[in-house]
Amino acid sequence: MSNKKKTPDSTPADKAAPVAAPAATPAAPAAAKNPLDDQLKGLQVKQAEIALQKARRAEIHEVQMNAADLRRLQAVAATAELDLAKKRRDAARELAAADEALNYTFYDGVSDESIKPALAELGKWSRRCPGQPITITLNSGGGSVIAGLALFDYILKLRADGHHVTVICLGMAASMGGILLQAGDKRIVGRYAQVLIHEVSAGTSGNIQKMDDALTFSKSLWNQLSEILAERSTMTVAQVRKAALRKDWWLTSQETVDLGFADEVLSAPFTPKVQKGGKKPASKAKGKAKSKKAE
């Protein structure tokens, strides 16, 4: 056996012992997907979609409601406008009515039957509209003296009660109609109206005394009528009686005014006067044109 001692292997000083690399940290295992989370997210999305749909439906409903309200308001406004127009028409119709304008039309003969509605209507107007102006449009061929005097006196009563009465004759105021024309505060005749004045006419029968009494009564009536005619005219009572003696005395509108049986001729559009021979006078424009040419 050898006594040599084995020296242990020595590591060179300049060689460092190899350092062992640290062991790599193993990666964390991936978390497993939870199906409940997916369902929750899906549910949230669905809820959001439902909320959006509700919001849109609410918006559409609001728009529809606003449109319906607008249509309703438009319908209410249209109805109110129609109602206002109707009320205006009704008011205009009422204002245009004779009983609102206080314009009574007497187109009739003078009799008990014709003056009754006149007295009733004029009386109603007087009570309803005290002191307001009243117009009577007259076209009458005359008739009963007694009935006519009743209406004549009633018109005088209206004037005494404060009504200004205008009588307008259109067409004709004959006999008792001419007397009624005198009842107004203002007496107007149409341009082409005619006025007739004549003596009282009447029939009688019986014995001589009765006929004489009737004649006396008729003469008395004529005296009253001639006084009414002369009161506001340019003629005396005697002149009126003479002019109407045993004849029908017809007067044109201008003659009626000239003699004082009316106050004025109803104003009307201008009518060209016709010269003798049927020729119309040349217009001023033509006359001016001719004068310029002459210059």
For residues 138 and 103, the answer to whether their CB atoms sit within 8 Å is no
Distance between CA atoms of residues 169 and 165, nearest Å: 13
Total Cβ atoms within 10 A of residue 176: 26
Spatial neighbors of 107 by CB under 8 A, at least 6 apart, are 137, 139, 140
| Three-class SS state of 252 | coil
Q: Which residues are catalytic?
A: 175, 198
In whole angstroms, give the CA distance from residue 178 to residue 235.
15
Cα–Cα distance measured from residue 275 to residue 169, given in angstroms and rounded to the nearest whole number: 28
User: What are 72's two structure tokens?
Assistant: 């309703």
Cα gap 86→106, rounded to integer Å: 31
CA 181 to chain centre: 32
How many Å separate Cα 164 from the centre of its chain? 26
Length of the chain counted residue by residue: 295
Q: Which of 139, 219, 151 is nearest to 177 (CA)?
A: 139
Name 265's Cβ contacts closer than 8 Å, sequence gap at least 6.
Answer: 188, 189, 190, 191, 253, 254, 257
Q: Which amino acid is at 84?
A: L
